[in-house]
Amino acid sequence: MGASAFAQTPEAPQTEGQEEPVMLRASTVTDDKASGTFIAEGDVEVRVGERVLLADRVVYDREAGTMRAQGNVQVLDESGLMQFADELEVDEDFRNGFATGFSTRIGETGIATASAAIREDANRNTLEQVIYTGCPLCEETESSPTWSIRSRRAVQNQKRR
């Protein structure tokens, strides 16, 4: 088992409101100068301000200014909301992105799952093929929730609420 590697990604261009340093922790870190990527693997943790990204592997593309997280992806946002995905691609400050195999917990018992989640303009969230339930899940019996709502698409505009 390898030791943890601590590194800071190269300085990203400052955007309005972003003055937060980026912290990266992983088992291994590779700086591939030829492809312009920074690759972190093994128990990866990326922190940007109060936002935390956990994954098996994260690839930061310097030129595109994006991070792609793969495997056991978890994102904790500044409000304390935990989100999960199979794969996630976000911009440098976690404001916009795309996730596949997405799910999130809402409140005490609410759960939403979607085949894909898209965040645009830092305030518009779109879930594709979404299922929501407020029923607590019974892991012991693996039973389905008593009720759920299904939709091809659900859109949330945080500015307009």
In this predicted model, what pLDDT tens digit does every residue of 83-94 receive, in sequence order? 999 999 998 777
Domain with CATH 2.60.450.10 in the chain: 1-8+22-91
Q: How is the chain split among helix, strand and coil, in percent rounded to 5? A: 0, 60, 40
Q: What is the pLDDT of residue 13?
A: 39
Q: How crowded is residue 107: how many other Cβ atoms within 10 Å of its Cβ? A: 8
Task: State percent of the chain over pLDDT 90.
Answer: 52
Q: 1-8+22-91 has which CATH code?
A: 2.60.450.10
Q: Taking the complete model, does pTM exceed 0.85, yes or no?
A: no
Closest CA to 90 of 51, 128, 42: 51
